[in-house]
Amino acid sequence: MKTPQEIRQIAAWMSAAGLGALELRTPDERILLGKGGEPVAPRATPDVARRPPPGPHASAAGTTTVRAPSLGIFLRGHPGRATALAEPGMRVSKGQPVALLQIGPLLLPVPAPADGRLLAPRAAEGDAVGYGEPLFDFQQQ
Amino acid sequence: MIEILSNAALATVQDLGRSGSLRFGVGTAGMMDNLALAAGNLMLGNEAGAAGIEIPVFPFRLRFDVDCAFALTGADCAARLDDVPLLPWWSHQAHAGQLLELGLPQGVQRASRAVLCLAGGVDVPQVLGSRSTQLRGAFGGHEGRALRRGDVLRAEAPGRACRTGFGLVPPAIALPLALDGGTVIRVLPAAEYLAFTPESRAAFWQRGWKITPQSDRYGFRLEGEALRPIAPMEMRSHGIVPGVIQVPHSGQPIIQMRDAQPSGGYPKFGTVIEADLWRLGQAPIGSRIRFVEVGWDEALAAQNEVEAWLRKVERMIDLHGSASGGRA
Amino acid sequence: MSAAKAMLSPLGTSALLFEAPGETDLRSQQRIWSLAEEAAGWPEVREAVPGMNNLMLSFARPPRSLAALESRLREAWAAALPLAREGRVVELPVVYGGEGGPHMADVVAHTGLDVEQIVELHSMPLYPVYALGSHPGYCYLGGMDARIATPRRKVPVLSIPGGAVSIGGAQTGVSASAGPSGWNTIGSTSMSFFDPERDPPATLQPGDLIRFRVEGIVR
């Protein structure tokens, strides 16, 4: 659960990055941050209770997910370079950056969670993603 | 301690420049890409004006003899830390014994100078209020000269625990300024602008200019159609600043750069605005540039835009640091 | 009193250049020194840098509107009284011509005078230091005889050594260290003009006087 202090910090960050609103979804909760940066009351939609919590994409045994370490704009490659950081099918090592998240002028790395193989992307280039959102399927090895 | 492993690299220690000694004939020197230095320093939690190393010739290699956080900005030169490829405009934690190698500039917008920032800044003495290298006169920076193989430099705070492993969108992308895919530089006309023929003035703005190989930190010598004065001019020596575009008798302009003399006597066509000096400083030898005329207000607005970008960078880095609670 | 107005022009947004009207003479230059002292205290000004009958004000922060600053500068100039300075006389031994004076022939060609005449006209006056600039410790001197004036070179030379005695247009000066120059070098001398650890770092200052003593003439 995010503490009120953490929520305020994220709100300040959003405001500095020029993001007007953001929905934060974690396995435990769903928070909407509005234009003023103040948390709005979580919408208790019936769907939320019935929908299974976001988890590993259960397409094949042994696959897991590369999740966003932060909110931001999902980028497959560095803006100054023509190629993506990593392509589906590539072997990567734990901690290796496989994509980037842009927050205003800042670029944060999306690290591979373990040694393994990067699989299909779960978000599109330029998507605004939230903390914990799945970005790639990943096969741990 | 970092040890330079490359020779003949024209690399120098520079900060944002030496001010307050123009009246003794001491020019400002300083980073050709001052924005890259400021941003790289902010990434490490340094003062924006801490000294860094400007690297204009590649490949360039150095070894870290102690653990030290560093940031590499300016040109994307396919850098590797012990064979691990690095992202451009990024900060890293180096460990003792690691080798940093910079290759040839590459990327979507090929720049020409890399800027290496160290935790706390490069530790050299201040001379006349600055750590920039004054090549003519041989003082400041590292022993008043370009770096050589075997030189050992120190960071002010190598042991400092810096947040590393993040980067910035390069200002060439965040603050774009291009015309027909080429580099554009904004110029404010100078005192002798109207003393040039109307044809020369029109040609200056309409045509591209090539940065010849005789270009360096003192000045960029341009090649193009000669600029002709209406009548020959013989001028009195007067103060100038980096960015002043002088036109000697040959008619081929010379843009005074960071190591330019603080005074001169050639006719001045215009001055590259301060906000675009970093762009010009990154234009490679042999590349073509175009000039665009601006007035005072536009030049000030451009300066404000650059300063606003730096403030935003500083703020976002600060928030990033506190929001993550200091996790590495 | 000349009715011609001073010329003010921007150097980008980094500085403002003030060029006084009329001839470059010591009295006018003394008024420039006075103007520099006045303007150095203004909040927009980082440094006031005298040149030859002109003054550059480098900005600490460029003003939003130049007009007010220009007005204030014109008023200060109108009120500026010549600042007389008690200067030292420094004598420099010069070897004219030869390897140390590679452009003597160009001065001969332009002026129509022979080497002896040029040396005599160059070494006779007592030259007041008008301003420093160009490179650390370099002095711009007034008082050169107009008969030996020679235009700056079409293509600047990539490097002339420290101690080079040169003529550029109607001015003369001595290089304090090796570097590029567009002037015509007619001789050489040895002298330390600058020490960055000293305060002030320059050996000479505006108001001092230089005399060139003929040590030799090489043909």
Nearest to A102 among B169, B317, B322 (CB): B169
Put simply, the answer to whether B108 touches A17 (Cβ < 8 Å) is no
Q: How many CB pairs under 8 A join B and C?
A: 180
Name the residue range of residue B120's domain.
Answer: 2-167
Condensed to tens digits (0 to 9), the pLDDT of residues C75-84 reads 999 999 999 8
Token pair 């567009």 is found at C182
Q: Which residue of C has its CA nearest to B293?
A: C12
Q: Which residue of B has its CA nearest to C67?
A: B296
The enclosing H or E element of B321 equals helix B296-323
The full 3-state SS of A69-95, as one line of letters, equals CCCEEEECECCCCCCECCCCCCEECCC
Query: Given a cut of 80, is residue B20 above it in pLDDT?
Result: yes
Structural domain total, chain B: 2
Condensed to tens digits (0 to 9), the pLDDT of residues A71-118 reads 999 999 999 999 999 999 999 999 999 999 999 999 999 999 999 999
Q: For chain A, first and last CA: distance in Å?
A: 30
Same domain, C154 and C192: yes
Condensed to tens digits (0 to 9), the pLDDT of residues B235-245 reads 888 999 999 99
Token pair 């190989």 is found at B213
CATH of domain A63-140: 2.40.50.100
Structure tokens at B123: 């530790």
C-alpha to C-alpha distances, B24 to A96, A113, B209, C59, C196, nearest whole angstrom:
52, 59, 34, 17, 10
Examine residue C22 and state whether it is found in any structural domain, yes or no: yes
Any chains having at least 3 CB pairs less than 8 A from chain B are: A, C
Same domain, B55 and B88: yes
Same domain, B224 and B276: yes
pTM here is 0.88
Asked if the interface predicted TM-score (ipTM) of this complex is over 0.85, the answer is yes
Which of A103, A107, A108, A110 to probe the B interface (max B CBs under 10 A)?
A107
Same domain, C158 and C53: no
Q: Which residues of B touch A109 (CB under 8 A)?
A: 87, 165-166
Q: How many CB pairs under 8 A join A and B?
A: 71
Give the phi and the psi of residue B288 in degrees, each rounded to 5: -105, 140
Tell which of B113, B138, B167 closes a domain: B167
Nearest to B299 among C13, C49, C170 (CB): C13
CA C70 to chain CA centroid, Å, is 24
**CATH number assigned to the domain comprising residue B275:** 2.40.100.10
Structural domain total, chain C: 2
Query: Which pLDDT band, with edges at 50, 70 and 90, does B108 fall under?
Result: confident
Same domain, C43 and C131: no
Same domain, C141 and C174: yes
Nearest to B20 among C46, C62, C138 (CB): C46
Examine residue C176 and state whether it is found in any structural domain, yes or no: yes
Residue C188 to residue C212: CA distance in whole angstroms: 10
Residue B149 to residue B167: CA distance in whole angstroms: 29
Put simply, the answer to whether B25 touches C202 (Cβ < 8 Å) is yes
Query: Given a cut of 80, is residue A29 above it in pLDDT?
Result: no
Name the residue range of residue C174's domain.
Answer: 89-218
